[in-house]
């Protein structure tokens, strides 16, 4: 019974993430099949993706006040209800499909944030460390990305885009049922009676603004996500074509990253709490970040690139659970909804312009110059938190009671050696 809540959260995440991966394949295929227009396809897909981070941030005060369990269930059942429209009323027109996906995007953001918030609480109820719970959640995410996308292709090919939406709706319905039956809400922050929604939103913003280590992590997320998008959308495909390689090399490199990250995330769940934090961070970010770009700039053969990408996957699965754990430790439990969703919103801010940045660098400097500039910028971004944070001193969360707009710095205490991570 101790593992019931954690197993429920992880199972619900698996269903939701698989449904999302199914939509990423089914929706573009459905719109292209119906219209033949790449522009309309991009517009419909954007309507689902763009609200994701913004609605997470807006839901932050509600996550802290109402509780993540209810938000998760409400978001998933809303998305499921919208996606069954084709089953009930037939193939929708394009405008209705666009509206459906806009609602799904708005509901999915808060629901995903809610499950993320539930992981550390469920891990504690199971008697497990935060890093173990987060490591398992990371492994579930990477597995859903790899297996869910493959399943999506098979379903669209065999059932068609419309019926694939039904399968996604069924997965989201199962996710709602699992959370409702297995997960309990953590103790919620009721706040002051006179505290408005916008007051609570400003409280989260003030906490992040006053917290230098979290600001350093957030800045790193913004820059690295932008550069990752530049690599994925522009630089990696151009490198492959310039070298006379086909899309198989790109697909193999990316799948290698995914599979390796699953294994290392499971390893992090097993013994990540015993690893030295600064060394784990540096090894993880240096192997998974700038090396993926610099290996392309060096003009190495595809075999070497795939080997480096395998190492990148291992590093990614190690340091992502660590950074998630550190956020849990640095943010008081009563503020996590507001602060973590704000960090996510900032982290997504660079993604829409990443492809544009890659294209601009490519046009002005050529492929090699663009790769070196992105690789060096990535290196600078990931090194900054290494000296901005005191990795040797885990931070004990501040008590939830004295929450005001004016926030004192988080207290730092040295733990006994047996608990040091």
Q: Would you give the DSSP letter of residue 393?
A: S
**150: pLDDT strictly greater than 70:** yes
Assign 318 to helix, strand or coil.
Answer: helix
- pLDDT exceeds 80 at position 420: no
The predicted pLDDT at position 72 comes to 93
Long-range contacts (CB closer than 8 Å, 24 or more residues apart) made by 153-156: 153/25, 155/22, 155/26, 156/25, 156/26, 156/29
The pTM score is 0.81
Digit-coded pLDDT (tens) for 215-243? 999 999 999 999 998 988 888 888 988 88
CATH class of 201-409+413-419: mainly alpha
Residue of 224 and 30 predicted with greater confidence: 224
Cα–Cα distance for residue pair 8/72, rounded to 1 Å: 12
Q: Check if 4-180 and 201-409+413-419 are the same fold.
A: yes
**Extents of the domains making up the chain:** 4-180, 201-409+413-419
Q: How big is the chain by its Cα radius of gyration, in Å? A: 21
411 pLDDT exceeds 70?
A: no
Segment 45-70 shows an average pLDDT of 86
Q: Which residues lie below 8 Å from residue 387, measured CB to CB, with a gap of 6+?
A: none
Question: 3-state DSSP call for residue 129?
Answer: coil
Torsion of CA 247, 249, 252, 254, to 10 degrees: -80
Q: What is d(CA 299, CA 257) in angstroms, rounded to the nearest whole number? A: 19
Q: Is the pLDDT of residue 196 over 50?
A: yes
Please name the fold of domain 4-180: Growth Hormone; Chain: A; (1.20.1250)
CA 151 to chain centre: 20
Say what percent of the chain tops pLDDT 90: 31
| Structure token digits, residue 202 | 């400003």
């Amino acid at each position: 019974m101790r593992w019931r809540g954690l197993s429920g959260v992880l199972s619900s995440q698996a269903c939701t993430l698989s449904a999302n991966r199914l939509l990423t394949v089914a929706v573009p295929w459905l719109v292209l099949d119906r219209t033949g227009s790449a522009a309309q396809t991009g517009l419909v897909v954007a309507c689902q993706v763009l609200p994701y981070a913004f609605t997470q941030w807006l839901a932050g005060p509600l996550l802290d006040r109402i509780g993540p369990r209810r938000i998760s269930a409400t978001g998933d059942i809303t998305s499921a209800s919208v996606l069954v429209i084709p089953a009930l009323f037939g193939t929708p027109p394009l405008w209705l499909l666009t509206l459906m996906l806009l609602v799904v995007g708005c509901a999915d953001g808060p629901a995903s944030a809610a499950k993320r918030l539930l992981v550390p609480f469920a891990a504690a109820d199971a008697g497990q460390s935060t890093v173990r719970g987060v490591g398992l959640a990371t492994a579930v995410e990477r597995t859903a990305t790899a297996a869910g996308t493959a399943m999506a292709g098979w379903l669209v090919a065999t059932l068609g885009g419309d019926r694939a939406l039904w399968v996604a709706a069924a997965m989201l319905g199962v996710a709602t049922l699992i959370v409702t039956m297995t997960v309990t809400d953590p103790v919620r922050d009721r706040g002051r009676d006179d505290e408005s929604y916008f007051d609570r939103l400003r409280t989260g913003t003030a906490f992040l603004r006053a917290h230098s280590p979290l600001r350093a992590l957030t800045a790193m997320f913004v820059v690295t996500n932008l550069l990752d998008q530049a690599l994925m959308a522009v630089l990696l495909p151009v490198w492959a074509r310039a070298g006379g390689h086909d899309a198989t090399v790109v697909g193999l490199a990316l799948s290698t990253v995914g599979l390796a990250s699953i294994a290392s995330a499971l390893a992090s769940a097993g013994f990540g709490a015993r690893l030295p934090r600064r060394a784990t961070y540096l090894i993880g970010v240096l192997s998974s970040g700038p090396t993926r770009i610099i290996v392309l700039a060096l003009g190495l053969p595809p075999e070497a690139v795939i080997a480096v990408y395998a190492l990148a996957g291992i590093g990614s699965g190690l340091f992502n659970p660590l950074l998630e754990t550190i956020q849990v430790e640095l943010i008081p439990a009563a503020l996590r909804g507001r602060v973590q969703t704000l960090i996510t919103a900032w982290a997504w801010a660079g993604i829409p312009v990443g492809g544009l940045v890659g294209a601009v660098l490519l046009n002005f400097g050529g492929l090699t110059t663009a790769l070196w500039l992105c690789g060096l910028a990535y290196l600078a971004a990931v090194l900054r938190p290494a000296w901005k944070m005191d990795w040797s001193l885990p931070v004990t969360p501040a008590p939830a009671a004295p929450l005001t707009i004016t926030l004192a710095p988080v207290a730092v205490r040295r733990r006994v050696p047996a608990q040091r991570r």
